Chains A and B, each alone.
Chain A
Amino acid sequence: DAGVIQSPRHEVTEMGQEVTLRCKPISGHDYLFWYRQTMMRGLELLIYFNNNVPIDDSGMPEDRFSAKMPNASFSTLKIQPSEPRDSAVYFCASTLRGGQGFTDTQYFGPGTRLTVL
């Protein structure tokens, strides 16, 4: 299994530009999570989906952030317009609830390091 795939791995952009981060979850997983990691705030859950439907977006910082999951194998996190304070590492994770073992284990992608100048 290829694991959770994220792209790009690194993104450098200028303030005001639109940024789109992409994620491909592990095949067959029914939950997908977007996290943000910063030195100041640690790991924060931004939003999660179940069967492609957004369930809880209470962690999304503000309206500049949006996330979609058009199908079971693809999700995007978009920031428009981007600001320097959005600089962070963004992780995508997926899990299969109720699968064999039922450990609710979340499998993380390698992350996208975003720098907004």
Chain B
Amino acid sequence: DIQMTQSPSAMSASVGDRVTITCRASQGISNYLAWFQQKPGKVPKRLIYAASSLQSGVPSRFSGSGSGTEFTLTISSLQPEDFATYYCLQHNSYPFTFGPGTKVDIK
């Protein structure tokens, strides 16, 4: 199985900060990588698919990049509604696997 790691596991940031979250795969997954946002008590929401494509309706301050084994999710200017946990998911090979999550909270 492909193992996914995320760094950092948690971070504190301020409104307006640029935030970068890294996701690494234990083997190459091409661009079969998606990013999800989950707020407490809420349903996960897809932000990015195919590593760098923005889901319709998602603000343009979110962007994704990477290919192979290393990927990043960037929030260019953190907004109050962005405080949440972020997960990556590899869907290159079965079983699909999520990263452990990165919790972004208010500094």
A, B: real partners: no
- B interface residue numbers (CB < 8 A to A): none
- A interface residue numbers (CB < 8 A to B): none
